Structure 1
């Protein structure tokens, strides 16, 4: 049996330049290697090599576009806290992947088991999603009134 690694054993060692590159990429993932290099005083090839290493190590998990949900017709944003039994967690995870309206799912400690981020075009669609996940256990729904910009991860 392979011993399980602790969180500190899985942590990648990053120097100050790596951390600065990560901070820059979290603010604008479309910057060129040359632009990032100018900001961290490295050549474009050196920056590209560091970024590729961070990607291989799994520190950088991917790149994505931030889409305004309302601009694509998803006018309702809600969060749902779901309480279920431990035995139904695999069923819940499978259901979450089947529902495209669930854009993020977080497993929690405490009374609730999951926090779900949901985007729908209207209240009727939200009701269908809530009713679907509610079959797994009590669900509490809150509408998101406003969303504030996500900040880059802090440096430890």
Structure 2
């Protein structure tokens, strides 16, 4: 379903669910101006098409004890398929890495890393990141203030 066309009702459903995914189907239907049965069918269709990728709680990292936030720019020394695959697999498995993007430009990857404190981040670097044979360098930008944490997809 790569060519899934969103209707106006689909977009309304997505906007409301991004604000509060705990609404009952009846509440959701009322907010978007649809019948409950039609709303339920559209939500199921959006889920099956992969437009709705999942549901979950939004956790405040600071209140959860993860007060060290960094953006880490990683450059690889090797770009052969096996080295890249291993780095991607290893990064994806680390709980400190909450986001990882392969990009163009000077860095190969940009990571959003959350840790309890600077000491935990040092352990992440020393015990994991710097032990990756394909990683040439990692530049850390410490996040001083979050201006916008949770982005909503503008549907």
Local SS of the residue matching 1:55: helix
How far the C-alpha of 1:14 sits from its partner, in A, is 1.0
How far the C-alpha of 1:150 sits from its partner, in A, is 2.6
Match of 2:125 in 1: 130
Q: Matches of 1:99 and 1:151 in 2, distance apart?
A: 23
Match of 2:89 in 1: 94
How far the C-alpha of 1:125 sits from its partner, in A, is 1.2
Match of 2:141 in 1: 142
Q: Matches of 1:98 and 1:137 in 2, distance apart?
A: 20
Local SS of the residue matching 1:70: coil
How far the C-alpha of 1:130 sits from its partner, in A, is 2.6
Q: Give the one of 42, 47, 58 matched to 2:50.
A: 58
How far the C-alpha of 1:13 sits from its partner, in A, is 0.8
Local SS of the residue matching 1:69: coil
Structure 1 alignment gaps of length 5 or more = 1-8
Q: Matches of 2:5 and 2:42 in 1, distance apart?
A: 12
**Structure having greater relative contact order (Cα 8 Å, sep ≥ 6):** 2
Q: Matches of 2:33 and 2:93 in 1, distance apart?
A: 46
Structure 2 alignment gaps of length 5 or more = none
Q: Which has the higher helix share?
A: 1
Q: Matches of 1:129 and 1:11 in 2, distance apart?
A: 41
How far the C-alpha of 1:50 sits from its partner, in A, is 0.6
Match of 1:111 in 2: 106
Q: Structure 1 128/26 Cα, relative in aligned 2: closer, same or farther at 3 Å? A: same
Q: Matches of 1:82 and 1:31 in 2, distance apart?
A: 40
Give the ranges of 4+ consecutive aligned residues of structure 1 lying more than 6 Å apart after TM superposition.
Answer: none
Count of residues in correspondence between the two structures:
147
Local SS of the residue matching 2:111: strand
Local SS of the residue matching 1:118: strand
Of 17-26 and 82-91, more deviation after overlay is shown by: 82-91
Local SS of the residue matching 1:137: strand
What is the TM-score when the length of structure 2 is the normalising length?
0.87
Root mean square deviation, CA, Å: 1.6
